[in-house]
């Protein structure tokens, strides 16, 4: 996913910064991380308040197997609902949820 497309998806939040992160990209708004691109997939920041929304939308949480201990590690990022990619108003709702989760996390 190129930077121009990422900027378009998050335009409802205003200008975003995009930096290398986790071998992919981190998307930031006002210094708050709102999303990552990992293995080519956009994942939005979530927390205890927003996880039920992501689950209800059928989204998947980013997990990986830890190299040191072989256990699955769950990260606070979730896939974007398919409808949001084609509907700017829907994406604005999810982007705002991710931004608010990032703010509550203090990062």
pTM, full prediction: 0.92
Q: Which two tokens stand for residue 90?
A: 């829907």
Quick one: average pLDDT of 80-99? 96
User: Quick count: other Cβ atoms within 10 Å of Cβ 62?
Assistant: 19
pLDDT surpasses 90 at 22: no
Q: Which two tokens stand for residue 1?
A: 């996913």
| Closest of 7, 65, 72, 73 to residue 35, by C-alpha | 7
Quick one: average pLDDT of 86-100? 96
Q: Which two tokens stand for residue 100?
A: 């608010």
pLDDT at 66: 84
Calpha distance 29→95 (Å, rounded): 10
pLDDT at 29: 96
DSSP state of 87: -
Calpha distance 34→97 (Å, rounded): 9
- Residue-wise pLDDT tens digits, 34-86: 999 999 999 999 999 999 999 999 999 999 988 888 899 999 999 999 999 99
106: pLDDT confidence band, cut at 50, 70 and 90? confident
């Amino acid at each position: 996913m190129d930077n121009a497309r990422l900027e378009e998806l998050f335009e409802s939040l205003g200008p975003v910064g995009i930096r290398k992160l986790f071998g992919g990209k981190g998307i930031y708004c006002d210094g708050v991380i709102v999303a990552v691109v990992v293995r080519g997939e956009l994942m939005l920041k979530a927390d205890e308040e927003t996880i039920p929304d992501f689950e209800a939308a059928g989204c998947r949480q980013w997990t990986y197997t830890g190299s040191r201990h072989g256990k699955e590690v769950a990260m606070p990022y979730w896939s974007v609902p398919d409808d949001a990619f084609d509907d700017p108003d829907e994406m604005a709702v999810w982007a705002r949820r991710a931004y608010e989760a990032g703010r509550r996390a203090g990062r």
